[in-house]
Amino acid sequence: MDIRTVGIVGAGQMGNGIAHVFALAGYEVLLNDISEESLNQARSTIDRNLERQASRGKISAEEKAAALGRIRTTLRLADLGPTDLVIEAATERETVKQAIFEDLLPHLKPTTILTSNTSSISITRLASRTDRPEKFMGFHFMNPVPVMQLVELIRGIATDQPTYEAMLAVVAKLGKTAASAEDFPAFIVNRILIPMINEAVYTLYEGVGNVRSIDEALKLGANHPMGPLELADFIGLDTCLAIMNVLYDGLADTKYRPCPLLTKYVEAGWLGRKTERGFYDYRGEVPVPTR
């Protein structure tokens, strides 16, 4: 499976980061979104992040220009049909992902590999709604994509060996490291990470500590680069809640019950950095704890 062209669905935080690393690795990239504004913003973000790498001497000015030249954008999902690999990086809602694959299927080449950047949803279930479950995989990048070295590869029940090996080769070409996970709720990283964040929210909810003390305790006591509540804001509280619900529904274990305070923040629209308020308020010069 010779993969040269890559179609990416979704130009948000994950999608533009995935486009960045693929273009830098020499792939021709076609980035799709439903909004022209999102596509323009994605190009600006990629340009800025590539410039940051160039200013630090990690890439040359020529490599930056070449990478930008390999990225095209489109509002038409059907335009991704001729690509060798499609990576869906839309919002973490199963109905949205299913609709995207359904719309894509009539336009795809028979050999195109389909993947999802989902952080928690069943790959087997997503694959079963397509015409090529054997050529379908979970392809989960970590955020921020240009910085983080790990990619989780998740095989559904039907995923064949050539597809898995092709994705291993792609990860190697990107200069990243693959971790193979079985298709169980939230896979490896989020199965461990998000319940830790949820427990930190419970610790806040029960008054064991305030936002600052909880984050400082984990940064200094466990040598974490970010506190769990700060990290939740970075990930997005809606995403954290969605993953906890996938774990709770999929494993039927009360230890995965989302904290009511996490639910309350999401109901308020306080989703973290992207809305300028979460466990911290980001509207001033420095983040201020909200509890």
Report the distance separating Cα 204 and Cα 237, nearest Å.
15
Report the distance separating Cα 248 and Cα 257, nearest Å.
6
DSSP states of 187-242 as a string? TTHHHHHHHHHHHHHHHHHTTSS-HHHHHHHHHHHS--SS-HHHHHHHH-HHHHHH
Report the distance separating Cα 248 and Cα 276, nearest Å.
28
What residues form the annotated binding site for NAD(+)? 10-15, 33, 92, 97, 119, 143, 274
- Residue 190: active-site member: yes
- Which of 119, 120, 122, 198 is catalytic? The answer is 119
- Residue 60: active-site member: no
How far apart are the two ends of the chain, measured CA to CA in Å? 52
- Residue 20: active-site member: no
- Which of 117, 152, 198, 230 is catalytic? The answer is 152
Q: Which residue has the tokens 């994509």?
A: 145
What residues form the annotated binding site? 10-15, 33, 92, 97, 119, 143, 274
- Which of 16, 20, 49, 140 is catalytic? The answer is 140
What does the block give as tokens for 11? 């130009």
- Residue 140: active-site member: yes
What does the block give as tokens for 17? 């980061």
- Which of 117, 120, 122, 190 is catalytic? The answer is 190
Positions marked catalytic = 119, 140, 152, 190
